[in-house]
Structure 1
C-alpha cells in the first residue's frame, strides 16, 4: 500500500510538471481576435447582424460567412449559441474573428486548452461543459486519490466518508454545466411547443372521442406521444370500464395505442394546456392538464424563477387555446407578462358587476369541473382576494399563484426546470 502511495505521488508531480508549463505558454501565445456584440444603446437601437460585424471588422459584409463558421454552435456566456447565419446577435456575445480583422471594436482574447475563448473579465465563449485547467483537474483528482489511499491505510472505515466528499465535489464542479444544459433543453421545448399543433389536436380529439363513450370518463390530464395517448381519470371513474381500444394501466390511468382520434372537440368546456414534457427514449412527450377541472387555485411553489416560468407558460397556452380570456393581475404577481392574446382587466368588477364576492371561503375544496371564464394571477400575499374570486363558493374564476399557499392543486418547481405534480404522481420539464 505504501508503494502505491509513492507511485501515485510521483505520477501526480510528473503530470503537474508537464501540464503547467504548457498551460502557461498557451495563455501567453494563443491569442485570438474577437468582438463583443454591442448593446442597442451603442448602436442607436439597431440590432447587430453578422454582415454588420463583417463590415465593421473586415471591411466587407460579404465575409459574414467566415465569422459564422468560426462561431457556429459555440456556447455563449448566456448559455445560447449561434445556429443560423441570419440569426440576430445578442448583446454581450463573444464572436471570434479572422486574423486580418481590425477596427475599434476588435479585441484580443486567450484561447484556452479546452477550445474556449476567455476575455480578461472572465467571460468565456465555447469550450467544454466543465472548463477547468488541466493542472487543476490533475491536482483535484490526484489529491483525492492520495487521500483515499492514505485513509485506507490509517482506517478503512473512513474511506466511505472520503468517497462521499469526492462525490459532492464532482457534483459541485458539474452543477453549473448541468443547469446550462437543462436551460437549453427548456428553451428548445418552448420553440417546439410553439410549432407543434398536432399534439394539441390529438389531445382535444381524445377528449372528444371519450365524451361519446357510453359512460364518459372524467379526464383531467393527458400524456401524448408518437405511439398513443395516456389519460388520467378521477377516482369516481375507477369502476368505469374503458371504451373499446383503451386499456387500463392502473387505477387512475387508461392507455390507447395509435391515433384513432377524430376531430370532435367535446363539449367545449375543456381547457387543455401543455404544462411540460417528459423525456422517454429521446422523445419529448407532452403532458396536458385540463384547467376546467382546477376548481380554484393552482399554487406553484419551490424555486421562484421556475415557478414564474410555469405561470407564464400556462398563460401563453391559454392564449393559444382560449384567446380573449379575461386576466386580472393582483400586485406584481412575480412580474408575469400577460400575452397579447388575452384580455387584461384592471378590476374584478369589470368582469361581472353582478357577481357577489364572498369572504372567508377556502380555496382548497373538492374538485369540480367548470369552464375557465377568467384567470386571476397573484401571489400568496393576496390570499384573501383569491379566496373571494376563486373559492368554490366565490366567483368561480381560475387562479394561478407564484408561491406556496393552501390550494387544491399545488406543484413544486425545482431550480433545474423540473416541476412535480403530486396529483398525477409525475415530474415534467417545463419550458423557459
Structure 2
C-alpha cells in the first residue's frame, strides 16, 4: 500500500524539527562582540547635478560681536546690503527647524537656514540640497511622489525628477527607492532647487539618509556589526520557518492527492463556474459579442469566430450596487449645487469612497467649493460627509464622469478614476490574466453603472466576459476596432442626450498594442477637434498618458496618479 504523502513528509520533517530544537542553544550562541564604529558624517550625493544644489547660510548667534540681520548678511555675502530683499523673498514664510518662519526682514533667529542667491560667497556659505522628510500622511492621505511633486514643485508630473534624484539611495530604514509608487514615512527625498513649501529642509541630508549609490560604499569595518548579527537566534528562527513551511506544503500536497483520487472520473480538476460567466451553449443568451446600428462602416470587416479571440477572465469583481448608487447620487448633488451657485462643475478625475465620506480629486485646483463640499490639499480635493450629501437635493441629468471605473480598494476605501480625463493612451501592464480581468470589470461598469448610460464600448482582440447589449461591440482584431471607432464619426453615430455634437463618449479597449500605422489612427481619435474616445491598451505605446501595473495577486500601481490599490478588495 503506498505511503500517504503527509505521513511521508512527516517522517522526514519531524525528526529534523526535533534535532533543531535540541541543538537550538548551540545555534543561538551569540557571535563574538564587534566594536562599535563611529557614524560617518553624511554628505550630499555626488550624482546630483549642480542645478539641484542650493547655496545656504545658517544664522549665527552673533557675528563680530553683533546680532545677525539680513542687511548685514547681504552686505557680507552678496557685497551689497540692499540685496537683503532677495534673501527675504527666497525665505519668506518657510518653516524653520524651530517651527517658526521668516515673516519680517528684521526678525531672525540663530540656527535658521537661509537660502541664498547663486552668487553668494564668503565665510559660512554652504552648498547643499533641498530635502523633504516623507510624513506618515498629509491631509489624511498617505504620501506619494506625485502628491509631493504637486505640493512642492507645483506640478505632479514632475514626480519623475524627484524619483531620479533619489533612486537607489539607501534610506534611514535600510530600504531604497526603486519604483516611483513606493515611498515610506521617514524617508529623506532630495528635491530640485525650485522646490518651495512646508517641510522643506536645506543643506546636509539628515543623519541616517545615506548618499546615492555612486557615493563611496560603507567601509568593511562599518559592515562588520551587520555581519555579526547574522548568527545566533535569527538562524534558528529561519531554519524553523523553512521546516514548518515544508511540513505544511507536504500536508497540502497530500490533501490534494486524496481529493483528486476521490473526484468523479469525468470531473475537470480545479475548474469552477463563475457566477457571472457565459451562459451554456444553447440557452438562447448572447455571449458578449454585442452589436448596434451605426457603429461604423468597418464593424463587420475581418471578424474572427468568437473562439479564436482571446477570452477575458471573469471580471475581478462586479461593481458594488450600493456603492454605485451612493456615488451616482453624490455626483448628482454636485451638479445640482454647482447649478444653484451659477458655476460650472469642476473637472473630476478621481473619486474616493469610504464608510463616512466621499472625496473628489480635481483635474485642476479649485477652492471655490459648493455645499456640502470642503476643499483640501489646496483645492485639489473636495470632501464631504455622506450624511450631508444624502440630505441635499439631486438632479436627474447626465453624469459629469460617465467613464468612471473602479481601480480597487485600499484600507476600506474604494478608489475610482474617470477614464475620460486621460489625455493619451491608458496602458495596462503586468500579469496577463489579472489585466484582462480588470478591463473585463471596467467594461461591466462602463455598460452597467448608473452614471454610464451614454457610454459605448468597442473592444478589439479581446471579448469582454459579459453581455453589454447594444452599447458593447467586440471585434476580432485591433484594426477592426479602430475602424469601428473611426466610423462613429458618421452622422448616424450613437448620440449623447443633450450633446449637440451628436457623439457620446466612447471607450476603445485593445487587447494588444497597435502597430505603427494603427497607433497613429488611435492618436488621431484622441486628439481630433471633436475627440470623444478614450483608448485602453493591454501593453505599452509611446503615447501612454496613464500606465497601470497589475500584479497576479490583484495589486494595482496607478503610476503617476499616486495610488496603490487591490482589484480584489482589501
Alignment match, 2:458: 328
Number of the residue aligned with 1:420: 557
CA contact (8 A) 1:338 1:344 kept: no
CA distance in 2, matches of 1:388, 1:171: 57
How far residue 190 of structure 1 moved from its aligned partner, in angstroms, is: 2.3
The partner residue of 1:208 within 331, 335, 359 is: 335
Corresponding residue for 1:286? Answer: 414
Distance 1:139 1:324 in 2: 65
Give 1:377 shift.
Answer: 2.1
2:428 is the alignment partner of 1:300: yes
Task: Quote the residue 1:242 is aligned against.
Answer: 369
Instruction: Name 1:376's counterpart in structure 2.
Output: 509
Give the Cα–Cα distance (whole angstroms) in 2 for the partners of residues 173 and 310 of structure 1.
Answer: 32
* Aligned equivalent of 1:220: 349
Paired with 1:382 and 1:148, the residues of 2 have a C-alpha distance of 64
Supply the distance in 1 between the matched residues of 2:244 and 2:535 (Cα, whole angstroms): 38
- Equivalent residue runs for 1:9-24 within 5 Å: none
Q: What secondary structure is seen at the aligned counterpart in 2 of 1:307?
A: helix
For residues 405 and 288 of structure 1, what CA distance do their matches in structure 2 show? 23
1:430 aligns to what? 567
Q: Is 2:547 the partner of 1:410? A: yes
Q: Secondary structure at the match of 2:505?
A: coil
Q: Is the 8 A contact 1:276 1:428 kept in 2?
A: yes
Greater percentage in strand: 1
Equivalent in 160, 180, 183 of residue 230 of structure 2: 160
Distance 2:556 2:243 in 1: 21
| Larger proportion of helix | 1
Q: Please give the alpha-carbon distance, in whole angstroms, between the structure 1 residues aligned to 2:22 and 2:548.
A: 42
> Would you say the 8 A contact 2:402–2:455 is kept in 1?
no
Q: 1:393 — aligned with what?
A: 527
**Cα–Cα, structure 1 residues 256 and 324, in superposed 2: closer, same or farther, change >3 Å?**
closer
* Rg (Cα) greater in structure: 2
Secondary structure of the corresponding residue to residue 230 of structure 2: helix
Indicate conservation of the 8 Å contact 2:508/2:535, yes or no: yes
- Return the alpha-carbon distance in structure 2 between the equivalents of residues 167 and 247 of structure 1: 54
SS of 1:415's equivalent? coil
- Tell me, yes or no, if the aligned pair for 1:223 and 1:230 is still in contact at 8 Å: yes
SS of the residue aligned with 2:372? coil
Q: Given that residues 386 and 399 in structure 1 are in contact (C-alpha distance below 8 angstroms), is that contact kept between their aligned partners in structure 2?
A: no
Aligned-CA RMSD value: 4.7
Q: Distance in 1 between matches of 2:514 and 2:395?
A: 41
Q: Measured at CA, do residues 276 and 326 of structure 1 come closer, stay the same or move farther in structure 2, by a change above 3 Å? A: closer
Distance 2:334 2:384 in 1: 12
In the TM superposition, residue 408 of structure 1 has moved relative to its aligned partner by 1.0
Contact 1:297-1:400 within 8 A present in 2 as well: yes
- Tell me the distance in 1 between the aligned counterparts of 2:506 and 2:536: 13
How far 1:274 sits from its partner (Å)?
3.7
Displacement, 1:430?
Answer: 0.9
Note closer, same or farther for the CA distance 1:375–1:418 as it changes in structure 2 (3 Å cut): same
Q: 1:112 Cα deviation (Å)?
A: 6.8
Q: In the alignment, what sits opposite 1:198?
A: 325
Residues 306-342 of structure 1 deviation map (CA, whole Å, 9 limit, x = unaligned)? 2222111111110113368544333x34x65464333
Q: Does 1:318 align with 2:446?
A: yes
8 Å Cα contact 2:351/2:358 also seen in 1: yes
Higher RCO, Cα 8 Å, sep 6+: 2
CA positional deviation for 1:207: 4.4
Counterpart residue number, 2:401? 270
State the SS of the aligned residue for 1:301. Answer: strand
How far does residue 344 in structure 1 lie from its aligned partner after superposition?
0.8
Residues paired across the two proteins, number: 282
Residues 426, 137 of structure 1: alpha-carbon distance in 2 compared, 3 angstrom cutoff: farther
**What's the CA shift for 1:426?**
1.5
Aligned to 1:259, the other structure's residue is in SS state helix
Alignment partners' CA distance in 1, 2:484 and 2:30: 77
**Offset of residue 147 of structure 1:** 7.4
Measured at CA, do residues 352 and 279 of structure 1 come closer, stay the same or move farther in structure 2, by a change above 3 Å? closer
> TM-score, normalising length from structure 2?
0.40
2:239, 2:403 → 1: CA distance?
42
SS in 1 for 2:506: coil
Change in Cα spacing, 1:135 to 1:111, as seen in structure 2 (3 Å) is closer
User: SS where residue 313 of structure 1 aligns?
Assistant: helix
Return the offset for 1:400.
Answer: 1.4
CA distance in 1, matches of 2:548, 2:325: 27
For residue 233 of structure 1, report the CA deviation from its aligned partner: 0.9
State the 1:241 CA deviation: 2.7
Moved more, 399-408 or 139-148: 139-148
Q: 1:279 to 1:378 in 2, by over 3 A?
A: closer
